[in-house]
Amino acid sequence: MLARVRAALRDVPPDEAPKDVPVERGYRTRDDAPPGELIDRFAERVEEYEARVLRVDADQVAAAVATACAARGARRLVIPHDLPAEWRPDGVELVADRVGAPLDHATLDGLDGALTGCALGIAETGTIVLDSGAGQGRRVISLLPDYHLCVVGADRVVGSVPEAVAALADAVAAGRPLTWISGPSATSDIELDRVEGVHGPRTLEVLLVG
Amino acid sequence: MSAEVGFRPEPFPVAARTALADAQLRRNLGKATTTIRAKRAQVVGELDDWEALREAGRALKERVLRHLDDYLEQLEESVTQAGGHVHWARDAAEANRIVAEIVTGHGEREVVKVKSLTTDETGLNEALAAAGVSAWETDLAELIVQLGRDASSHILVPAIHKSRAEIRELFLRTLDVDELTDEPTELAGAARAHLRRKFLSARVGVSGVNFALADSGTVCVVESEGNGRMCVTLPDVLVSVMGIEKVVPTWRDLEVFLQLLPRSSTGERMNPYTSFWTGVADGDGPQEFHLVLLDNGRTDVLADRIGRQTLNCIRCSACLNVCPVYERTGGHAYRSVYPGPIGAILTPQLQGIDRAGSLPFASTLCGACYEVCPVKIDIPEVLVHLRARVVEHAAGTRPVPGPEALSMRALGWVFADRRRYEAAQRAARAGSVTISRHGRIRRLPGPLAAWTEGRDAPTVARQSFRQWWAARGGAR
């Protein structure tokens, strides 16, 4: 097959290297808006996807988790084993997914929700990125339960897609799986009417901290 | 879905007739194309660097395609290093055989599938069925199409030709549900419950690929519903099938494509879910990963210097939504997995001019497709190029010239001489008075009837330009 590819490219001079084909990166690679503005934009754009955003102080995360769970009657949440202690509320049963003793899919499917952190948020697109780093756990834990509550530190909000890509380069190089999440699962497949929630979590809530 | 192999499909003008007579199809298509077009225009308008992004996207694709051999070798090496297995498939049959062997090799009889145009192109589901394996489509629209034994009509929203009432009836008949209204939320809920059982039990997942990075071996799937995440995360074994043109040099290059694709496709700033994985991740997701690299005619496209840019395509479907021809006929008339303007240039190149030679003519050459294309494929240029190839091919294969070639020859003879031309004009004027109505001719006589089959002809003017010029005193 490679021989066929090479035969098809006979018009390419043999001494041409890939970098000899010019790529002009004339687009914006960073957003220089002040941090406050970026954080507001992030919150606004996440909400445009019909996800709820709650802004809380750093010492109120656990209380906000408890309130959010009580509001929707969520009693049992899966958490990654390394979720920060100060995010864990009383009154909600937290089921930890541990390395070496992972929860099976049926168990995860039976839980009310997932509580995780994230790697970063993108203001431009209202996107949350999980990169399998600290406080995020395996991909499946934020997938099977019908409710995802995600804690996003305001200091983790970047302006644009190129800034996010740059910040995630190490995680990719290390071979870690990534999930980019922009609002709850959605479809417009039936007569183009948007429905929030098909296979992924039908409810996404974001606790924006700081 | 696998209209790609076997008998020669009907030519576009014949297939379009059925579609044009379907009032519901035209209503749904009109709504879909208008809505997505407006959403796209809005989110594209938000970015003042859109043209720079398009140019970077085009240039990156050009770099990849001119050095595709290098990048494919690099990709194979990095995927292998990350614990994955790479397979090379020259054609559809080979790709299907590879996937079937992996599935049956694990003793499995079921797979869950993410929507993938590439596996539709190869007819994978039918091939798996022949090998005793059921492939469950998990995208809502693909599920509707599969359960109804139907065909996709749009790249992005394949079941757009179906009404909610029809989907309700289909689900009541085929899914294990007793009661159901035709509310989209409830219909989506029924699909969720049905497929959740499949997701939890399937041991093999099959996906397509939006981008694969040569430098790290990372594979990317872009989606909305979460069925993609399910298929690439839950099973023990994952098989991803990609056209060889989907390779991208480096992770950084996705900063371009992840802006271009969602805005062009669904008209969103970002699609709900994008998954990236690199080979096998210890303890997270499938512990066995196969990547199938598919040619199936792509190297033929690559060899054509004008046609090559067709392989820039990132399957966003923006060109469908702006095309005046697609908007009226819908996707079925193209008799291919790839409809619309991109299909009109991709299908004949992948399948051969002799099988899909009518498609390059399914366009008005208005150029709207080029203007919205996020990777700047000059679709009108390729259409004209392919039309020339179709005509050359016809001249080369027909023992006697066809009616079109004959009439062009006759026209050439008339045009070559002023007296002959003027005599023909007079004759046409005399003739057209008798057959025209309200200034239009609906049906030309004799062999000329072929021209009016798809259009009205205007009545010949009472006076020719030369007569008018002479009457007003010529070049005084």
Nearest residue of A to residue B200, measured between CA atoms: A105
User: How are the residues of chain A apportioned to helix, strand and coil, as percentages rounded to the nearest 5?
Assistant: 30, 25, 45
State both tokens at B78.
């990095």
Q: Does B424 have pLDDT greater than 90? A: no
- Interface predicted TM-score (ipTM) of this complex, two decimals: 0.96
pLDDT band at residue B416 under the 50/70/90 scheme: confident
Distance of residue B105 Cα from the nearest chain A Cα, in angstroms: 24
Decide if B300 touches A, using CB distance below 8 A. Answer: yes
pLDDT digit string, tens, across residues B63-79: 999 999 999 999 999 99
Average pLDDT across chain A, whole number: 95
Residues A115, A120, A122, A125, CA torsion sign:
negative
Decide if B432 touches A, using CB distance below 8 A. Answer: no
Q: Does B412 have pLDDT greater than 70? A: yes
- Could you tell me if residue A86 is inside a domain? yes
Q: Does B400 have pLDDT greater than 70? A: no
pLDDT band at residue B444 under the 50/70/90 scheme: confident
Q: Does B82 have pLDDT greater than 70? A: yes
Chain A residues lying within 8 Å of B268, measured CB to CB? 182
Spatial separation of the C-alpha atoms in residues A134 and A136, rounded to whole Å? 6
User: In the prediction, which pLDDT does B7 show?
Assistant: 54
B334 or A189, higher pLDDT: B334
User: In the prediction, which pLDDT does B4 show?
Assistant: 45
* A84-101 mean pLDDT: 94
Chain B residues lying within 8 Å of A197, measured CB to CB? 188, 192
Q: What domain range includes position A166?
A: 34-209
User: In the prediction, which pLDDT does B433 show?
Assistant: 67
A195 or A166, higher pLDDT: A166
Domain boundaries, chain B: 39-298, 421-471
User: In the prediction, which pLDDT does B406 show?
Assistant: 72
How many residues would you count in chain A?
210
Helical spans, DSSP H, in B68-163: 68-81, 92-105, 117-122, 124-130, 140-147
CB pairs under 8 A between A and B: 245
Q: Does B228 have pLDDT greater than 90? A: yes
Chain A residues lying within 8 Å of B74, measured CB to CB? none
Chain B residues lying within 8 Å of A191, measured CB to CB? 28, 31, 160, 163-164, 184
pLDDT digit string, tens, across residues B242-280: 999 999 999 999 999 999 999 999 999 999 999 999 999
* B439-466 mean pLDDT: 76
pLDDT digit string, tens, across residues B135-163: 999 989 889 998 998 888 888 888 888 88
Chain A residues lying within 8 Å of B195, measured CB to CB? 199
User: In the prediction, which pLDDT does B5 show?
Assistant: 44
Find the range with the poorest average confidence among A18-22, B363-367, B422-426, B447-451.
B447-451
Average pLDDT across chain B, whole number: 91
Spatial separation of the C-alpha atoms in residues B329 and B454, rounded to whole Å? 14
Q: Does A19 have pLDDT greater than 90? A: yes
Task: Please indicate whether, in this complex, the C-beta atoms of A126 and B269 are within 8 angstroms of each other.
Answer: yes
Find the range with the poorest average confidence among A170-179, B390-399, B446-455.
B446-455
Nearest-by-Cβ selection for B68 from A5, A192, A201: A5
Task: Please indicate whether, in this complex, the C-beta atoms of B49 and A109 are within 8 angstroms of each other.
Answer: no
Q: Does B52 have pLDDT greater than 60? A: yes
A95-112 burial, b at 16+ Cβ within 10 Å, e below that, comes to bebeeeebbebeebbebb
* A32-36 mean pLDDT: 95
- Could you tell me if residue A26 is inside a domain? no
Distance of residue B142 Cα from the nearest chain A Cα, in angstroms: 9
Task: Please indicate whether, in this complex, the C-beta atoms of A26 and B52 are within 8 angstroms of each other.
Answer: yes
pLDDT digit string, tens, across residues B325-341: 999 998 889 988 999 99
Distance of residue A105 Cα from the nearest chain B Cα, in angstroms: 7
- Could you tell me if residue A104 is inside a domain? yes
* A78-97 mean pLDDT: 96
Nearest-by-Cβ selection for A24 from B56, B159, B283: B56
How would you class B126 by CB atoms within 10 Å of its CB: exposed for 0-12, middle for 13-18, buried for 19 or more? middle
Q: Does B436 have pLDDT greater than 90? A: no
B457 or A113, higher pLDDT: A113
Nearest-by-Cβ selection for B225 from A45, A180, A199: A199
Considering the domain delimited by B39-298, tell me its CATH architecture.
3-Layer(aba) Sandwich (3.40)
Nearest-by-Cβ selection for B269 from A12, A23, A124: A124
What is the percent of chain B where pLDDT is above 70?
95
Q: What is the tally of helices (H) and strands (E) in chain B?
A: 23, 12
pLDDT digit string, tens, across residues B4-19: 444 567 889 888 888 8
Task: Please indicate whether, in this complex, the C-beta atoms of A18 and B249 are within 8 angstroms of each other.
Answer: yes
CATH, residue A79: 3.40.50.10420
Q: Does B447 have pLDDT greater than 70? A: no
State both tokens at B430.
């005399």
User: In the prediction, which pLDDT does A195 show?
Assistant: 85
B457 or A89, higher pLDDT: A89
Q: Does A54 have pLDDT greater than 60? A: yes
CB contact at 8 A, A79 and A114:
yes
Q: Does B310 have pLDDT greater than 90? A: yes
Q: To probe the interface with A, which of B270, B275, B280, B317 has the most A CB atoms within 10 Å?
A: B270
For A94, other C-beta atoms within 10 Å of its C-beta total: 15
Residue numbers of B between 22 and 41 with CB closer than 8 Å to A = 28, 31-32, 35-36
Distance of residue B165 Cα from the nearest chain A Cα, in angstroms: 10
pLDDT digit string, tens, across residues B292-306: 999 999 999 999 999
Chain B residues lying within 8 Å of A142, measured CB to CB? none
State both tokens at B473.
């005193």
Report which of B122, B113, B77 is spatially closest to residue B95, judged by C-alpha positions: B122
SS3 for B422-438 is HHHHHHHHHHHHHHCEC
Residue numbers of B between 222 and 261 with CB closer than 8 Å to A = 224-227, 229-230, 233-234, 244, 249, 251-252, 254-256, 258-259
User: In the prediction, which pLDDT does B475 show?
Assistant: 66
Task: Please indicate whether, in this complex, the C-beta atoms of B188 and A5 are within 8 angstroms of each other.
Answer: no
Chain B residues lying within 8 Å of A193, measured CB to CB? 184
Nearest residue of A to residue B58, measured between CA atoms: A23
Task: Please indicate whether, in this complex, the C-beta atoms of A189 and B251 are within 8 angstroms of each other.
Answer: no
Residues A64, A67, A70, A72, CA torsion sign:
negative
Nearest-by-Cβ selection for B275 from A5, A179, A191: A179
pLDDT band at residue B399 under the 50/70/90 scheme: low
pLDDT digit string, tens, across residues B89-100: 999 999 999 999
User: In the prediction, which pLDDT does B3 show?
Assistant: 40
Spatial separation of the C-alpha atoms in residues B340 and B318, rounded to whole Å? 10
User: In the prediction, which pLDDT does B161 show?
Assistant: 87
Task: Please indicate whether, in this complex, the C-beta atoms of B164 and A177 are within 8 angstroms of each other.
Answer: no
Total domains in chain A come to 1
* A196-205 mean pLDDT: 90
